[in-house]
């Protein structure tokens, strides 16, 4: 029901008949997410909507009346992946700095917070090296 309300409020009956509810729902959600709207979009002109689709290394700008469902889904997915990276706090930065001193530990996956650290993909032969580096580590006070 909500899907039909979203599409009916945003597009003309002609657009709905020609392009289908599924595609138009994705386009309406793309416009909503791209613009940061809190309410559902109203009265969209499909010919004026531009969807930015990643094609290889370039971004193609496709008009709404020529866009395909897969393109809109990929564009919506890409919108969610553009979250700004949080900057490391002083404790996490200290851990990263000490790990950067050894090339053999470069492949370790590290997840750092201000209260915990998780190390994965540590080669077994590098455990003593990692332990020695972490033993030397002096964390700044929080």
Please state, in angstroms and as integers, the Cα–Cα distance from residue 142 to each residue in 46, 89, 114, following that order.
52, 9, 8
pLDDT tier at 138, thresholds 50, 70, 90: confident
Average pLDDT, the chain: 87
3-state secondary structure of 54: strand
pLDDT at position 125: 92
Phi-psi sector, 140: left (phi>0), alpha (psi -120 to 50), beta? beta
How confident is the model at residue 1, as a pLDDT?
A: 52
Q: What is the mean pLDDT of residues 46-67?
A: 90
Spell out the domain ranges in the chain. 2-80, 90-136
Give the model confidence (pLDDT) of 99-123 as tens digits.
888 888 877 888 877 778 899 988 8
């Amino acid at each position: 029901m909500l899907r039909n309300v979203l599409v009916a409020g945003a597009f003309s009956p002609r657009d709905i008949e020609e392009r289908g509810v599924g595609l138009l729902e994705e386009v309406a959600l793309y416009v909503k997410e791209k613009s940061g709207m809190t309410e559902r979009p109203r009265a969209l002109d499909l010919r004026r909507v531009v969807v930015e689709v990643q094609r290889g290394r370039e971004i193609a700008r496709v008009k709404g009346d020529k866009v395909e469902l897969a393109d809109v889904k990929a564009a919506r997915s890409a919108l969610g992946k553009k979250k700004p990276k949080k900057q490391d706090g002083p404790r996490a930065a200290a851990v990263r700095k000490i790990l950067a001193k050894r090339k053999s530990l470069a492949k370790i996956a590290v997840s750092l917070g201000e209260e915990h650290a998780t190390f994965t993909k540590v080669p077994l032969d590098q455990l003593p090296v990692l332990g020695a580096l972490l033993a030397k580590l002096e964390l700044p006070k929080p």
